[in-house]
Amino acid sequence: MSAGGMYGSSMPRGGVRGSGWGHRLSNALKTTVLLAGLTALLLFVGERLGGPQGLVVAGFFVVVMNFGSYWFSDRIALAMHGARPLEYAEAPWLHQMVERLAARAGMPKPKLYLLPTRTPNAFATGRNPEHAAVAVTAGIVDILDQRELEGVLAHELAHVKNRDTLIGTVAATLAGVISYAAQMIFWFGGSLLGRGDDEEGGLAHTLGNLGVLLVAPIAATLLQLAVSRSREYGADATGAELCGDPDALASALMKLERGAELMPYDRAPATSHLFIVNPLSGGAIMGLFSTHPPIPERVRRLREMSASMGSRTWRRAWA
């Protein structure tokens, strides 16, 4: 790659304003609601399938999950994708780019990780800026130039700056556990599904349990949707201001969307909302359940922001 990644002249002066305490409070409330919702869902599934004993077991897992989701969700998310640390000597230009953006954002430089997949994408994780990581796929550097890649990295650092990463990784961890639990019960929990067959209404009870197992992963996904889509618009806005080049991020989003369509990536579907573009394939129906807003709308807002960059009114496009 060329040295064209140094785009200091295109960056606005005065530093990135970013999000204040109001946004942090909003994300804290969303995290609380998400934890409460997923906790209630897991307790309900446990009681439905195992009665009082199942409720106790589910309660134990809830305590472990909530503790682990806060302290270790970033490591779990990275491990799900087989990410490895990207050493400075492997890509010094990439580390320098992140260092420059992090300094501009007024935050510590996050750790860099590499995902071993040719699908072009990236995500950020971590409970706060002091414990953050940015992961890029091996394929992203093949289709983006440095200007576009800088826009992507600025978007991911914006998630960290806006305190979006905690709620995203918590959602990924808990939703993943619920989905995996449902799959495990389908394969190995036949006795639980049939609990009460000897009682009156045993068949109805079994069918009800099957319904719970089908609905639980969908409910977990809907909870993710409730907190995911608005975060992407906010990260686009903050990231575009951070790099000073909304058009670069818009161009990158279009390329990444095409890359995901050609090479969908479904290693850990519960973490799909962490990525800058949805890594999963799907048609119009699946689009209704997408954790990401439509790329054309994101690009439209970025183009509008670019046209009005330098004006005090450019933020109105993101209201």
Residues annotated as part of the active site: 156
Contact by Cβ (8 Å): 297, 315: no
What distance in Å separates the CA atoms of residue 175 and residue 107, rounded to the nearest whole number?
A: 29
Q: Which amino acid, 150?
A: E
Name which of 275, 42, 277, 72 is nearest 164 in CA terms.
275
Contact (CB, 8 A) for 213 and 186: yes
Query: H or E element: which one contains 58?
Result: helix 21-80
Q: What span, in angstroms and rounded, lies between the C-alpha atoms of 317 and 238?
A: 12
CB neighbour burial string for 244-274, b if at least 16 within 10 angstroms, e if fewer: bbbbbbbbbbebbbebbeebebeebbbbbbb
